[in-house]
């Protein structure tokens, strides 16, 4: 019997929370604005601002001012905040979901 294909048109839930999605968006583009992250994740800028503050307070990322913009440094060695995944770090999640950075000269 062939595996069933999920019907995504009726589904409203995702496997990752907004916190996870914001973290992944920042991992993809550490110089993204709140607006860019909000548009990518599909939430408001204010929600992104709160999530970034949560992630900073938990030391998962730090904000570095660069002129009028922010740059975000992620600490990939920190554990996932999952009851069944705490033995893995967020770097493993980022590596799994995000495209690898381009290699120089390629």
Number of domains within the chain: 1
Handedness of CA 37, 40, 43, 45 (dihedral sign): positive
Note whether residue 105 is domain-resident: no
Name the pLDDT band for 106 (thresholds 50, 70, 90).
low
Please report whether residue 42 resides in a domain.
Answer: yes
Specify if 92 maps to a domain: yes
Q: Residue 3: inside a domain, yes or no?
A: no
Q: Given this model, what pLDDT does residue 8 score?
A: 61
The predicted pLDDT at position 3 comes to: 74
Under the banding of pLDDT at 50, 70 and 90, the label for residue 9 is low
Tokens of 55: 């992630």
Q: Does some domain include residue 75?
A: yes
Chain position carrying tokens 């110089």: 31
Q: What average pLDDT is seen over the chain?
A: 88
Buried-state track 60-96, b at ≥16 Cβ within 10 A, e below 16: bbeeeeeeeebebebeeeeebeeeeeeeebbeebbee
- By residue range, what is the domain housing residue 48? 18-97
Strand partners of residue 73: 62
Q: What is the mean pLDDT of the segment spanning 39-68? A: 96
Is 106 a member of any domain?
no
**Residue 43's domain is classified under what CATH number?**
1.10.10.10
């Amino acid at each position: 019997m062939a595996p069933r294909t999920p019907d995504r048109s009726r589904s409203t839930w995702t496997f990752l929370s907004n916190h996870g999605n914001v973290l992944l968006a920042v991992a993809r583009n550490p110089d993204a604005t709140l607006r860019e992250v909000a548009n990518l994740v599909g939430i408001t800028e204010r929600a992104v601002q709160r999530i970034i503050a949560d992630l900073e307070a938990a030391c998962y990322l730090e904000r570095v001012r660069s002129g009028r913009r922010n740059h975000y440094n992620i600490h990939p060695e920190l554990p996932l905040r999952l009851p069944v995944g705490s033995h893995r770090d967020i770097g493993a999640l980022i590596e799994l979901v995000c495209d690898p950075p381009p290699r120089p000269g390629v």
